[in-house]
Amino acid sequence: MKISEVRRVVLKIGSSSLNHPQGGIDERAINEIASVIAALKQSGVECIIVSSGAVAAGMGQLKLSARPRDLAGKQAVAAVGQGVLIEMYTRYLERQGIIGAQVLLSRIDLAQASHYRNAQNTLEKLLRLQVVPIINENDTVAVDELCFGDNDTLSALVAGLVGADLLVILTDVDGLYSANPKKDQSAQLIKEVTDVSAVECMASGAGSLLGTGGMVTKLRAAKIATRFGIGMLLLNFTRLPELSPSTKSQEPLGTFFQPLKHRLAGRKRWIAYAGLSEGSIQVDEGAAKALVEEGKSLLAKGITNVEGTWERKEIVRIINSQREEIARGVVELSDAEVKLVKGLHSEKLHQFVESFDGEEVVHRDNMTLMVDA
């Protein structure tokens, strides 16, 4: 994909790119981002920023030399830093004549379909107003079990939410290497990836004390974005100016993850990656085949086991007899009801569960496959 063909882009900037050697945020980096955004907008590209850096900025303010390890410490430092970070962004964007807006998202904000649509509508409105959303995780209220944890995953979900056609992840290395280049000098840069699963073994964790997740979470983001049909470019922050349409250089050097042709759209995106799933339904081989190869709904007959608890209309994972997750979907019955009907023929369901006259436990329209068909 050529940058010149992109109409809407999500730029994710990691802490490693914003950190000042003396601590805190490097204003030159924010200035650089603002000028590239101005150039992109000038040529008609809509931009959304997903920026880390709240903890790094808070550490600068509080003169801390080490990142807090405990949750409350991290949340307090992020609360100090987020204001500083957003002030810098809005100030430098304003110098380019651009209005910026802070959007803080928690995992829970995308977990319910109605909340997901609400976030979608707000971002759409901001873009229509020519405003640049500057998104970060709402670190101060996020709890360990219910957080994105890293902004790489968040940026992929945001790219899906806003229907971007490119996700750019800016970091402190030139792209994906065959091994961590900070530890292995013979590591080779991979310029293009068509199958993320095939390169997962190359990734390891964060490369600095500030980064979260390292290449592991970047590949997780690539998996999500490419399944949404969105290309992802992993780029060194030092190459940011090359995204500017006026730059005469070739396509920027980095790793490009090709979008998949069979893209997930709309509600199927939410089901697969944004909605929360508490439990799982195990199915026999016949049901697994019907779901994966024949595009069928899940019927009670093929269910062999139920794990976890949920209410009607929540999302469940569907696993095969080897416990591999094959699909996720909105379930029509509670866990207790599924236990009652598992193994039964569809026409008998109404004898066991009240106020239910459907046949499918998970309807095909409300299901997303998590493996290749």
Ligand X SMILES: N[C@@H](CCC(=O)OP(=O)(O)O)C(=O)O
Ligand Y SMILES: Nc1ncnc2c1ncn2[C@@H]1O[C@H](COP(=O)(O)OP(=O)(O)O)[C@@H](O)[C@H]1O
Residues that bind ligand X (CB under 6 A): 14-16, 52-56, 78, 136-137, 139, 150-151, 210-213
What share of residues in the chain are helix, strand, coil (percent, to 5)? 40, 20, 35
Closer residue to ligand X in complex, CB, 172/360: 172
Summary count for the chain: helices (H), strands (E)? 12, 14
Query: Binds 76, which of ligand Y, ligand X, none (CB < 5 to 8 A, cut-off by type)?
Result: none
Neighbours of 59 (CB within 10 A): 25
Q: How far is the CB of 184 from ligand Y (least distance, A)?
A: 9
Binding of ligand Y at residue 171 (CB under 6 A)? yes
Q: Is the distance from CB of 287 to CB of 329 less than 8 angstroms?
A: no
Among 133, 211, 231, 329, binds ligand Y (CB under 6 A): 211
Q: How far is the CB of 237 from ligand X (least distance, A)?
A: 11
19 is in an annotated binding site: no
Binding of ligand Y at residue 193 (CB under 6 A)? no
151 is in an annotated binding site: yes
Binding of ligand Y at residue 136 (CB under 6 A)? no
Q: How far is the CB of 58 from ligand X (least distance, A)?
A: 8
- Give, as one character, the DSSP assignment of residue 97: T
Closer residue to ligand Y in complex, CB, 15/106: 15
Q: Is the distance from CB of 322 to CB of 315 less than 8 angstroms?
A: no
Identify which range of 106-114, 170-178, 266-274, 306-314 contacts ligand Y by CB under 6 A. 170-178
Q: CB-based contacts of 261: which residues, under 8 Å, 6+ apart? A: 229
Binding of ligand Y at residue 202 (CB under 6 A)? yes
What is the pairing mode between strands 315-319 and 360-369? Answer: unpaired
Dihedral of alpha carbons 12, 14, 17, 20, sign: positive
Query: The tokens of 305 are what?
Result: 């086991």
Identify which range of 66-74, 200-208, 288-296, 317-325 contacts ligand Y by CB under 6 A. 200-208
Annotated binding residues for ATP, written as ranges, equal 12, 171-172, 212-218
